Amino acid sequence: MKFSPKATIAAALMTLAAASSAHALTVYSSVDEENAKKLLDAFTKATGVETQMVFLSSGPALSRIEAEKANPQADVWFGAPSENHILAKERGLTEPYASANASALSDEFKDKEGYWHAIYTNPLAVGVRTDILESRKAPVPASWEDLKNPAYKGLIQMPSPQSSGTAYAVILTLIQQRGEDAAFTYLKELNPNIQTYTQSGTAPSGALGVGETPLAIQFTPGFLKLADEGYPVKVVFPSEGVGYEVASMSILKGAKNLDDAKKLVDWMTSKDGQGALSATKTYFLPIRSDVSGGTGVPTLDQIKLVASDPKFAAENKKRLVERWAKDVLGQ
């Protein structure tokens, strides 16, 4: 029997690749692929730990982790809002690890038993095209209440709660601050100033960038990206406080690469790991108050954050969105 040298070399390389991948940290990522790769590459550069990433949005990720419970195929679930990680904990899919860095995180950014730690947060904000407002001799708003200024009539874009979780976060924020009835009174009073309610949660920042609107409401990354790219955009965190989403990570129960999984948790919650959020231009905000989100971006201790109860949010979403349609749109 004759052996082809090329075939022998190819087989050897495949064997080496398989051996290498067997030792890599396997990550199910619910962070978008581009930004997850940036962060995991930075982790590998800092620690030497190789990673293999599989992108799965929050729902499919949880389903797959549950289906693989008897024989886990990944070591870490990276990303997805913290309420998903609470579910994973309740279903016995994750295991605790108390990172030494957890003491630097406030309570909303970690599980008290170490089952999950936050990666980053995205607060709500108002994106402002300062050049357009200046040309109209209109002031830059500083609060939710300021947005009702008649000078902004037909000038604000925000997502529709009927299609966007971002807009639902706005409703929840206002309810926490004002109570439900007062929140809907506010939204009804704000309505004349709304240029359009977008279907997508990130569409307002796109409109802001092209000058279609001078005021936009959504989570911060789109605004921060515009400002970093040189657009005359100011990011305003309303003084009454803002709601936020928290992306988190968990070590999966039965992880085959437990030591490296712990290293990822330690690195991501460290100053260096949090610094990578801005260094790699993810435009996510750090969850450590001692780490800057980048030039012109305040640290979390300078932003008044408004927490919502995930259980209330889930149980009342249909009712609250229907009330918004009836009270605000008059449908």
Which ranges of the chain have pLDDT less than 50? 1-3, 5-21
In a domain, 115, yes or no: yes
Pair (288, 171) in one structural domain: no
The number of folded domains in the chain is: 2
What per-residue confidence (pLDDT) applies to 320?
Answer: 95
The phi, psi pair for 51, rounded to 5°, reads: -130, 150
Nearest to 158 by CA among 331, 329, 313, 314: 329
Within this chain, do residues 232 and 157 fall inside the same structural domain, yes or no? Answer: yes
Same domain, 197 and 323: yes
Same domain, 227 and 117: no
- pLDDT tens-digit series, residues 145-158: 999 999 999 999 99
pTM for the structure as a whole: 0.74
Which pLDDT value is given to residue 310?
Answer: 76
Q: In this predicted structure, what is the pLDDT of residue 322? A: 97
Q: Is residue 301 part of a domain?
A: no
Give the pLDDT score at 12: 42
Residue 40 lies in a domain: yes
Q: What local confidence, expressed as pLDDT, does residue 18 receive? A: 42
Domain containing residue 70? 5-121+246-296
Q: How far apart are CA 254 and CA 81, in angstroms?
A: 22
Looking up residue 164, the CATH number of its domain turns out to be: 3.40.190.10
